[in-house]
């Protein structure tokens, strides 16, 4: 991510997948019922850190994501708190039937973490890019769906997942993420983090797009436009109260996500806005296509996900306010 925008600068930190691995070890030390599973990608998902410290509580399933999901469901029914991880595209696409029937339907206490979400994984190309995982996860009844924006958010949300009774899915990313928070910041499932009290437009974003939204906020301020940013780290259950307040106080909303526009954050926010306080909206996301291979910066720019594209969306939505 290019980190400078107007007078606003972001410092890069660890990837959210790294923070997941660190938090998983912390959970393992605190709770002997926490176990971990991985589908042959433990070094990439960073669950290998847990396996190194707790080899008797770590299960490498191989390239068999559906089996891993079923095993996680069984472990949950046995009283364990399983965290199962793989690349998001493999976990959700290959394990979906088992997620539905072995986890969602019986509503078991299993946790799933899909790494390498979105197109910012870069050169690995479209076969490795999860661009529909959030829509799929939101379609599972009873699931909590999380997209942390930085390392501190990710670490905190892993702990919140362990405390939550029921199935959860969290998307993590491959590249380093900008530092937005500190270890002292508190996070709660279903409660957005607000940056600023702007009254002209609300920018509602998740994951890496929160950093771009903050860059856009600074650019808009230079242009005399007052924006607030909502870090919607929980896509389901959505913070409907924060969304309604943003719609009422700002009168215009732009969502930003590293995901296909069909079924992702924008869809969830639009449903909430329609039910509470209808307002004009614009949507920044991947436009009904798959990406290609390239550097993360090249891809985020080409597919319209960077700060200038958010600024353009704000200018469009303000014309309809």
65 is catalytic: yes
- Rounded mean pLDDT, 241-265: 98
Q: In this structure, are 20 and 94 located in the same domain?
A: yes
Q: In this structure, are 223 and 305 located in the same domain?
A: yes
Q: In this structure, are 220 and 82 located in the same domain?
A: no
Arithmetic mean of pLDDT over the chain: 96
Predicted confidence (pLDDT) at residue 5 exceeds the cutoff of 80: no
CATH of the domain at 238: 3.40.50.920
* 5 within some domain: no
Q: In this structure, are 92 and 148 located in the same domain?
A: yes
* 182 within some domain: no
At residue 10 the predicted structure's pLDDT band, cuts being 50, 70 and 90, is confident
Predicted confidence (pLDDT) at residue 20 exceeds the cutoff of 90: yes
Q: In this structure, are 141 and 216 located in the same domain?
A: no
pLDDT of residue 154: 98
* 89 within some domain: yes
* 9 within some domain: no
> Residue 208 sits in which domain range?
190-318
Q: In this structure, are 245 and 312 located in the same domain?
A: yes
Rounded to whole angstroms, the Cα distance separating 254 from 228 reads 10
At residue 75 the predicted structure's pLDDT band, cuts being 50, 70 and 90, is very high
* 39 within some domain: yes
Q: In this structure, are 200 and 121 located in the same domain?
A: no
* 177 within some domain: no
**Interaxial angle between packed helices 16-30 and 151-163, expressed in degrees from 0 to 180 and rounded to the nearest 10:** 40
Q: In this structure, are 143 and 249 located in the same domain?
A: no
Q: In this structure, are 167 and 204 located in the same domain?
A: no
Predicted confidence (pLDDT) at residue 1 exceeds the cutoff of 80: no
pLDDT of residue 9: 80
pLDDT of residue 281: 98
Rounded to whole angstroms, the Cα distance separating 111 from 25 reads 15
* 7 within some domain: no
- Rounded mean pLDDT, 14-25: 98
Predicted confidence (pLDDT) at residue 6 exceeds the cutoff of 70: no
Q: In this structure, are 131 and 268 located in the same domain?
A: no
Largest Cα span, the chain = 59
CATH of the domain at 58: 3.40.50.970
At residue 7 the predicted structure's pLDDT band, cuts being 50, 70 and 90, is low
pLDDT tens digits, 297-314: 999 999 999 999 999 999
Domain end marker among 115, 143, 171: 171
Q: In this structure, are 29 and 158 located in the same domain?
A: yes
pLDDT tens digits, 207-219: 999 999 999 999 9
- Rounded mean pLDDT, 219-234: 97
* 63 within some domain: yes
Domain end marker among 110, 142, 171: 171
Which one from 18, 53, 65, 184 is the annotated catalytic residue? 65
pLDDT tens digits, 141-179: 999 999 999 999 999 999 999 999 999 999 999 999 999
| β-strands 4-5, 8-9 pairing | antiparallel
pLDDT tens digits, 100-150: 999 999 999 999 999 999 999 999 999 999 999 999 999 999 999 999 999
pLDDT of residue 211: 97
Predicted confidence (pLDDT) at residue 3 exceeds the cutoff of 50: no
Tally of domains within the chain? 2
Q: In this structure, are 102 and 195 located in the same domain?
A: no
Q: Which of 60, 134, 61 is nearest to 93 (CA)?
A: 134
Domain end marker among 136, 171, 206: 171
């Amino acid at each position: 991510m290019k980190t400078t925008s107007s007078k606003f600068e972001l410092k890069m930190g660890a990837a959210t997948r790294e923070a997941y691995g660190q938090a998983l070890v912390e959970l393992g030390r605190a709770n002997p019922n926490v176990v971990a599973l991985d589908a042959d990608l433990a070094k990439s998902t960073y669950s290998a850190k847990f396996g190194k410290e707790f080899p008797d509580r770590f299960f490498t399933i191989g390239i068999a994501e559906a089996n891993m999901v079923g095993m996680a469901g069984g472990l949950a029914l046995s009283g364990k708190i399983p965290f199962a991880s793989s690349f998001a595209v493999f976990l959700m696409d290959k394990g979906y039937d088992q997620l539905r029937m072995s986890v969602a339907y019986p509503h078991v206490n299993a946790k799933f973490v899909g790494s390498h979400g979105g197109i910012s994984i870069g050169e690995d190309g479209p076969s490795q890019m999860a661009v529909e995982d959030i829509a799929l996860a939101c379609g599972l009844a009873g699931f909590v769906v999380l997209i942390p924006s930085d390392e501190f958010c990710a670490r905190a949300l892993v702990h919140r997942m362990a405390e939550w009774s029921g199935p959860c899915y969290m998307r993590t990313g491959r590249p380093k993420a900008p530092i937005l928070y500190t270890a002292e910041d508190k996070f709660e499932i279903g409660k957005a983090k607000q940056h600023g009290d702007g009254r002209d437009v609300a920018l509602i974003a998740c994951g890496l797009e929160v950093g771009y939204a903050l860059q856009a906020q600074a650019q808009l301020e230079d242009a005399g436009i007052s924006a607030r940013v909502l870090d919607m780290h929980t896509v389901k259950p959505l913070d409907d109260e924060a969304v309604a307040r943003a719609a009422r106080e700002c009168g215009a909303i732009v969502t930003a996500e590293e995901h296909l526009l069909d079924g992702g954050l924008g869809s969830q926010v639009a449903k909430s806005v329609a039910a509470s306080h209808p307002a004009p909206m614009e949507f920044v996301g991947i436009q009904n296509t798959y990406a290609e291979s390239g550097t993360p910066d090249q891809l985020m720019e080409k597919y319209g996900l960077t700060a200038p594209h958010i600024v353009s969306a704000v200018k469009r939505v303000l014309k309809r306010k």
